[in-house]
Each structure stands twice: as C-alpha cells, then as structure tokens.
Amino acid sequence: MKNNSRRGFMGKAFGAVAGVGAVASLYAMKRSWDPLPSVKAAGFTTLDMSAYKENELVTEKWRGKPIFVLKQTADMVKKAEANPKDMERLIKVGNDYFMVCLGLCTHLGCIPGYDSDEKSFLCACHGGMYDFTGDVTKAPPPRGLDIPPFKIDGNKLVLGEEGPEYKKMLENGTTLRA
C-alpha cells in the first residue's frame, strides 16, 4: 500500500495548492467587483445654503443619489421644537434651519414626492410617508430619511465630509451612516 499512501499524499498536496489558489482568485474576483477609485473619489458636493427658499424642496445630487434640501419656515421650526426628535434632524446654518436628507425611501430606495401644502413626503412605491424633517410617519419605511455626511463651512454645506454636527447625529441615532 506504499503506492496508495504516496498517491494520497500527492492528492493532498495538490488539494492544498489548489485551495490556496482558489482562495486567492476568489479574493481577486471580489476586488474586481469593488467600486473603482475614480467612482469613490467623486464623492463630494458643496451646497450654498443662502440660495434656498422656505418650504420649497430642492433636489441636489451627491454620489449619483438625490439629496433633498428643504428650508424650514418659522412655523415648521416651531412645530419641530415641540418634538425634540424632529428638531435633532434639522441642520442649522447661520440663523436658518434645513432638512438635508438622502431623497431615497429607506424602504427600498424609491424617491418620495413632497407635498408643500401638507408639508409631508409620500413614497409612491409602497405608500411610506415622512414629515417635513424627513422623519417617518407611515410604514413600511423602517426609519426616517437618512442624512448624508455633512460639514458646515460658514454659509456652505459640504456633503461627503463628516463634521461634528453630523457625528453627533450618528451618536444619538438620528441617522445611520448613509
């Protein structure tokens, strides 16, 4: 049986070599499917916050995704103040308050529409609803609209950079990392 044990050894040796090769090529294949560096680098958008009008939804673009910017009226801020959870979602730039959210339904990624009379968002795909701060008011969405990473820079807002205000939102669970 000397022969057999030699063949057994050769089989195992081949198996070891092939196993290493298989794992290495799987890693290469995984990496080939990763987003390209050029895709990742094009990830910053700067918004001039003095240009927006109250209760008028503007859709900006960041990393190919729509970003909702909604400047709050004094009335809306008053309403939000009654609910601390809503207030935490707003971003203060200068003396104005803004809702800045990823305009993708947290259910399955459709774009909700804004009704400026009702001051609420409705997602036509599966009927989810959000209020004017982007907080969810009707299922199926599991949470409010996600807030993109932002940094306040005077009158400007840089999307893609993580400022202290954004980090605070992450910590207290106002938003998930989008």
Partner 1 sequence: MAHFTKATSLHDWLNQRLAIDTLRRVLATEYWIPKNINFLWAMGMVLAITFGLLLISGIFLLMYYQPNVNLAFDSVNYTIMQEVGYGWLWRHVHGVAASVVFLIIYIHMFTGIYYGSYKKGREMIWLSGMLLFVAFSAEAFSGYMLPWGQMSYWAGMVITNLFSGGSLHADGLVEWIRGDYVPAQAFLNRFFMLHVLLIPLAILGLIGLHFGALRIPHVNNQDGEEIDFEAEAAKYKAGDKANSKVIAFVNDFMSKDMMVVGIYLIFFFYLVFYHYDFAMDPVNFDPADGLKTPAHIYPEWYFLWSYEILRPFSTNTGLIAFAFAQVIFFALPFLDKSPNAVPASRRGLFKYWFWAMLIDMIILTAMGKVPPEGAFSTIGLYAALTFIGLWIALPFITKTEKKV
Applying CB under 8 A, among 12, 85, 92, 126 the residue interacting with partner 1 is 126
Q: Does 33 bind partner 1 (CB under 8 A)?
A: yes
Q: Does 111 bind partner 1 (CB under 8 A)?
A: yes
Least Cβ distance, residue 27 to partner 1 (angstroms): 13
Binding mask 46-65 for partner 1 (x = CB under 8 A): -------------x-x-xxx
Least distance (Å) between residue 69 CB and partner 1: 13
Nearer to partner 1, 87 or 178 (CB): 178
**Smallest separation, CB 110 to partner 1 (Å):** 4
Measured in whole angstroms, the distance separating CA 150 from the mean position of its chain's CA atoms is 11
Q: Which spans of this chain sit near partner 1 (rule: CB under 8 A)?
A: 30, 33-36, 39, 43, 59, 61, 63-66, 106-111, 124-127, 139-142, 176-178
